[in-house]
Structure 1
Amino acid sequence: MRKFILFALLSLFPFGAALPGPDASEEASNAEAVRIYTEAGLEDHVAFPVFKKAYEGYEKIADRKKEILTLIDFSKPSTEERLYVIDIRHARVLYHSLVAHGKNSGGVYATSFGNTPGSNKSSLGFYLTENTYIGRNGYSLVLNGLEKGINDRAKERAIVMHGADYCDPSFVQSNGRPGRSLGCPALPRQINRQVINTIKEGSVLYIYAPDPDYLAMSTFIPREENRS
C-alpha cells in the first residue's frame, strides 16, 4: 500500500529535464518529502500538502540544531491527535498527541489566529524551540517565533509548550473536547515532559491551518504552495 502511495505522490511532481517545473534541488526536496511521509506512515494522519509545507519550511531554517520536525495540524479538530513529532533523519514518528489551541482561536476547531499580546489566540507558522523552565504550568518549553508579523511576538506573549490537565484524554472524554489555552500549544501532562525533552534546544515546530492570511504572508512556503 505504501509503495502505491509513494508512486502516486511522486507522479505529482515533474522529474524530466525537458519538463517545466522546479529545479533539481526542488525536485530532490519533493522526492525526500514523499519518502519521509510514506516511510513514517503519515498518510493516514496528515494530508501530504500539509506535511510538504512543514518540510519545505524546515529545510529553510539554517539555525536548526536537530533533525526533528514537530507538526501541529490545526485543520483537524481538537478532539483528535494533531501533534506529530517526526524524526526526519530516520523517517519515523516519535510522538503523536492531542494539543490545545488558544481560547479565542475557536471551539473544537482553531479558525482565528493572532500575534498580539492579550489576544489569547494561537499563532501559526514556524518556530525554533529554545530552553526549558519550570513555571506556573510546570515544565515548559520556550518557543521562538520566526515569522515577522505572524508569530514573532511569541516570547513577549509567553507562548510556550506546557502540560495541562484540560488536554488529558479523561478530560476530553468527560467534556467532549479539550480545554483551551491562552495561546500556548498545551499537551497532556502524561506526555508533555517526554515531548519537550525530545524537541528542546533547536528543533523546528510548525503550526499549520488553512488560513488565507497566513498562507499569503509566510515567506517559508513557496508561493505556488500558498494557495492551499
Structure 2
Amino acid sequence: MTLRRAVATASLLLLATTAIAQEATIRKNLAERLPNLPKIDEVSKTAVNGLYEVRLGNEVVYTDAEGNYLIQGEIVDTRAKKNLTQERVNKLTAIDFASLPLQDAIVWKNGSGKRKIAVFADPNCGYCKRFERDLQNVKDVTVYTFLFPILAPDSTTKSNAIWCAKDRTKAWQDWMIRGVAPAAAPAGCNTPVARNTELGRKHRVNGTPALVFEDGTRVPGAMSTEQIEAQLAQVANP
C-alpha cells in the first residue's frame, strides 16, 4: 500500500469513527434531555454545515452536533429553489404503488385510463366527496379507491354496503357525488374493509382523502382538478 493510499484510508476511518461518535452523542443527549421524544430512527448530516437531521419515523427534525437544540421546520435550498425537508418527507412516506392490493379497491376509469391514482377515502368525508367530484374531470385516469372508514361510527357500515352493492363503483359515486345512500349490505357479504384499515395503518395514513400516485408520491388531503393534472404530468415526466 502506497503512503498516499494509507493516508487516505486512515482519513476515511477517522471520518467514519467521528461520524459514529457524533451520532451517539446526539442520540444520548436528546434521549436524556427529552424523554418524551419518539424513538430516534436515524441521525444524518444535512446540507447545512453543523446541522443534523433526526428522523423519528416519517417525521424529521433538526439538531446541532451536540444535541443542545432541537429545531422543527423546513430547510429550503434558495439557490435550487427546493424544499429539502419536503423532498425528504416525500421519500420517507412514499408508497410502492405496485405493492398495493388493487383487488381490494373500487375501480373506475375515464378515457384510456393509462394514468393511475390510488385513494384512501371514508364515505363520511366531506373533502373526499369534493375530491371525487373533481376527479370526474380528470382525463385518461384509472382510480383505485380503498374504503378506509375512520371518521364516524357508521363509516364501516356504509363502506361495507357500498362494497357489497351489485355495482360498487356506481354505489360509491351515487353516494359521494349524488348523495344517494347505498342499500344495506346483505348478510354474509365479505368485504376488504378490515384489510384496507390495516393497510392504511401500516402506511400511517391518518386522514382522508390520502392520495398515492404511480411514482410512490403520497399527498394528504384533497386536490383540485388542476392540481391532480399537474401531479399526474409530473409523474409522467419526472
More helix by share: 2
Q: Is the TM value for this pair above 0.5?
A: no
Q: TM-score, normalised by structure 2?
A: 0.29
Q: TM-score, normalised by structure 1?
A: 0.30
Larger radius of gyration: 2
